[in-house]
Amino acid sequence: MKKLIMILACLILSAAGLAGCANNAQSFTEESFAADANEIKGIVLDVQERLIEIAPSEDDQVHIEYYSSSKEYYDLSVSQDNILTMRAVQNKSWTDYIGVKAPAQNRKIFLRVPDGLLASLTVSTTKENILIEALSVSENLSLYTNGGNITFERLNAGNGIELQAKNGDISGCVAGSYEDYSISCSFKKGKSNLPEYKESGVKTLKVENNNGDINIQFTGE
């Protein structure tokens, strides 16, 4: 009898805990960051479970629009060498991971940068896509996602482009001709229109994918 009472008590406590989790919805606030492009040389965006949309800004400023809560927020800083870094910070208990996920509209980050004024851009996310309109940087461009697609209209980097995905596709156009690039491409469980290795080229294109397709075109410009 005592054992039965203990089992019932545990079930009641567990149900109460799960009910508390169901009512543990976070309150998100829309926030924004802006800086003059001459104050920012490069950007590092390192987050989890966030859809990232990148497009040219309409002025000479870097703009970031995002949503934060008391349990999911971001650390933004600019280093002495003018690198803007945005990293995800979480302040969650174990109950916050049970049956509760931020609404889709709050799991987005909008980055707007002046075309051609950045030296470098590095973006990393998980379980979401990276979407980029036509964008140019003077040195290096790197995009990573685990559990999403990388889709771009036209990428242009003075030195090199690195694209890496898992459980998603990589597709879009890069500026220049096929001959402009030395290419390194590796993939598993998918298809690719790129060679595994190509020497020569004044720029580098490195592409890796696991469980997804690679389809990259060259503009020929």
Please write the tens of the pLDDT for every residue from 156-205. 999 999 999 999 999 999 999 999 999 999 999 999 999 999 999 999 99
Indicate whether 10 belongs to any domain. no
| Residue 20 is assigned to a structural domain of this protein | no
Residues spanned by the domain of 80: 28-218
pLDDT above 80: residue 28: yes
What are the strands, taking DSSP E only, across the chain?
Answer: 29-36, 42-46, 51-56, 61-68, 72-78, 83-90, 108-113, 120-126, 130-132, 135-137, 140-146, 150-157, 160-166, 170-174, 181-188, 197-198, 203-210, 214-218
Q: How many structural domains are present in the chain?
A: 1
In a domain, residue 201? The reply is yes
Q: Is residue 13 part of a domain?
A: no
| Nearest alpha-carbon partner for 128 in 155, 101, 154 | 101
Is 3 inside any structural domain?
no
Specify if 5 maps to a domain. no
Whether residue 138 lies inside any domain: the answer is yes
Quote the pTM value: 0.85
Examine residue 19 and state whether it is found in any structural domain, yes or no.
no
Report whether 97 contacts 75 (CB < 8 A): no
pLDDT of 91 strictly over 80: no
